[in-house]
Amino acid sequence: MRRRILIHLALVATLLSTSMPAHAVDTSLPRDQQVAYITNTYVSRLDAEMVRLNAIKAKMASQPSLLAQYKAFLTDYTGSYNTIKDALASQSADLNTTDDFAAEEVGEFDNTVYQLEQMAAKVKSISCVKGKVSKIVLGLKPVCPKGYIKKK
């Protein structure tokens, strides 16, 4: 038990010592320049992640469990994206907080989108034939419907 705790403490210490320091928006800049910095740095990356998400949507939709994860992530993503955009549009929002929040969310979303892409890559498709009728079946372990034969 002690060994496990010591290993965990060593791992946490290593992760904390190698993590990148947080950076904040330079508050000496005018507000419009701060907003432009955050928009260029984070909003463009969030938009790129949305493109990646849309690319895997069809494969995720073929499996109910994957689709549930996709929808849950999309809800979180949309909420955070709207929070960032609203803060940038508001004249009273603290831009340092917005910068920190955006940096955290971009990192989190990048990792999650990557994981979703890996899950989507495991979805396979097969062609099944019955007479002249052909169907394409998607799934983690796709099986032809009754009466259909897998096309080679």
| The pLDDT of residue 18 | 56
Nearest to 151 by CA among 131, 20, 51, 108: 131
3-state helix, strand, coil in the chain (%, to 5): 65, 10, 25
CA distance 90 to 96: 13
DSSP state of 39: I
Run means of pLDDT, 10 residues per run, the chain, 152 residues: 65 59 62 89 90 87 84 91 91 88 90 88 88 87 90 82
| The pLDDT of residue 2 | 67
Q: List phi, psi (to 5°) of 73.
A: -65, -40
| The pLDDT of residue 140 | 81
CA distances to 4, 24, 49, 82 from 45, rounded to whole Å, are: 38, 17, 6, 14
| The pLDDT of residue 25 | 54
CA distance 107 to 71: 19
The letter for the amino acid at 34 is Q
CA distance 143 to 73: 28
| The pLDDT of residue 31 | 85
